[in-house]
Amino acid sequence: MRDMKRHGTNRNSGKTHCKLGHPLQAPNLKPAQAAKGGRSCLACAREYALARVQNRPFDPARADERLRAIAASF
């Protein structure tokens, strides 16, 4: 993985936004992923998890609300 990063062939190192357009920068990074050098959207991950627990489909508008809440907390 370090070799991939050094040579610029790691496809995740260039990501700047998630599929919904949320920025992939602190504080909107999943902590476990960020510690390993990964980049995953915290707002989307929280909405996916809650939708799964509540047995409902993923709602992008709720993910946007979670992003605003994450940004407001910092």
Mean pLDDT of 5-15: 76
pLDDT of residue 35: 66
Structural domain count of the chain: 1
Angle at 12 between CA 48 and CA 2, to 5 degrees: 130
pLDDT tens for each residue of 28-74: 988 877 667 678 899 999 999 999 999 999 999 999 999 999 999 87
Q: What is the reported pLDDT for 3?
A: 82
Between 27 and 32, where is the model more confident?
Answer: 27
Tokens 């610029």 sit on residue: 8
> Taking the model in full, what pTM does it have?
0.79
Q: What domain range is 64 assigned to? A: 2-72
